[in-house]
Amino acid sequence: MRIYDIIEKKRDGYKLTKEEIDFFVQEYTKENVEDYQASALLMAIFINGMDEEETVNLTESMAKSGDMLDLSAIDGITADKHSTGGVGDKTSLVVAPICASLGIKMAKMSGRGLGHTGGTIDKLESIEGFNVTLDTDDFFKQVNEIGISIIGQTGNLAPADKKIYALRDVTATVGNISLIASSIMSKKIAAGAQNIVLDVKCGSGAFMKDEQSATELAEMMVKIGKKCGRNIAAVITNMDIPLGSNVGNALEIKEVIDILNNKGDKQLRELCLVLSATILSISYDWTYEEAYKKAEQTISDGSAYKKFIEFVNAQGGNSDFTTLPVAKKSLEIKAVKDGYIQSIDSRIVGESAVLLGAGREKKTDTIDYSTGIVLYKKTCDRVSVGDTIAILYAETDERLKNGEKLFNTSYVIGEEMPEILPLIYKTIR
């Protein structure tokens, strides 16, 4: 078998066999296929597409390119939740303790932030002493004992996806449904959980900009999960507006604490409950309504917050959250006219947070955990001249100035109240 023939076949619009897909993935991972050849095949896939069977085969092949995590050492029902990326999205840190406090084993591997989207691991590392690099035995032991552990992704989990994604990123072949779906699902399948819930973001701060494309991606990932023997559901959610009020690592931990203490942003709380109820209802023999009530109860009675504290302590973190880092400098953004916030562009808010120091433009960049943005007004809110729209936090005046300049382009004030968009568009099971 030759990579040349596989490229030619897909270039001409024909379907690739499982054997041909396996050959490409295995040989490219071993560096026996050149980047220029892989780029040619990816462009042919991007232009001509893949059908469902090809996409499932690509997913399974990438999942099996490295370690396949065997969770049989964990006693009980395992579940995982994945977000396609958003601004202010700290839901995993609320959903995991809710589900763990109800008996689900949340053995979760998460990533770091890159570009305008934040990463769960970066948020956790803003907690003094928190360790995100447990070995496999300690990871399993902690999940068995307290029901939850969140660590960084291992270096050999779906290595083919890592190589292929890096190439897609520089060859304009990212935006293909089959390539996106197989990239996400290969890591979820390799991570081993039996029950998976996907939070598929839709809007200005997400990769999928409209409901139709988000639905297409969600449906494809659910089909892949089912073909790979998983219980799976996808919730399509709004990312036209930043999620919650806080954007930035330590700031988002503070918001997690508020939500788990039955305070804070109502939309963030609602999304966390919806995602938790979806996990619980596909994992147990519960109706969605029963699962939602049980999830809500864990916040009301404090059991989810207690589980979060237990989780932080187990991984070496300081649960005296007064030690969370605080930026030296801040700047208030004030309304310059009366009216309604017509829109806040989530992507620009996320990019502003990166300029303040809260994110990475390159993988090698260092994050300042203390920096970020607190939003006091969001889309549909009424403002008067002088009202605080947001406060920006940074360590230097230069970063504040750069962040302010970009943030001021993220929102529009107008006379009419805009249409209120839904938080949840649909759930696909």
Which positions are annotated as active-site residues? Answer: 82, 161, 168, 183, 187
Distance CA 271, CA 276 (A): 8
For residue 366, count CB atoms less than 10 angstroms from its CB and return exposed for 0-12, middle for 13-18, buried for 19 or more. exposed
* Residues sharing a CB contact under 8 Å with residue 354, sequence separation 6 or more, in sequence order: 115, 116, 360, 361
In degrees, rounded to 5, the angle at the alpha carbon of residue 326 between the alpha carbons of residues 324 and 330 is 155
The structure tokens listed for 365 are 């960049």
Residue whose tokens read 């579940």:
79
DSSP, collapsed to helix, strand or coil, labels residue 83 as strand
Instruction: Tally Cβ neighbours within 10 Å of residue 427.
Output: 18
State the DSSP string of 2-68.
-HHHHHHHHHTTPPPPHHHHHHHHHHHHTT-S-HHHHHHHHHHHHHH---HHHHHHHHHHHHTTS--
In angstroms, the CA 167 to CA 272 distance is 34
Place of tokens 């619980």: 280
Q: How far apart are CA 295 and CA 288, in angstroms?
A: 10
Residue by residue, DSSP assigns 112-137 as --BTTB--HHHHHHTSTT------HH
Sequence-distant (6+) residues with CB within 8 A of 105 are: 71, 74, 75, 76, 77, 78, 79, 143, 144, 147, 148
String of DSSP letters for 176-232: -HHHHHHHHHHHHHHH--SEEEEEEEESTTSSS-SHHHHHHHHHHHHHHHHHTT-EE
- DSSP secondary structure code for residue 154 in this structure: P
Centre a 10 Å sphere on the Cβ of residue 324 and count the other Cβ atoms it contains.
18
Instruction: Kindly state the greatest CA–CA separation across the chain.
Output: 69
Burial of 238: CB neighbours in 10 Å, binned 0-12, 13-18, 19+: buried
Return the DSSP state at 75.
-
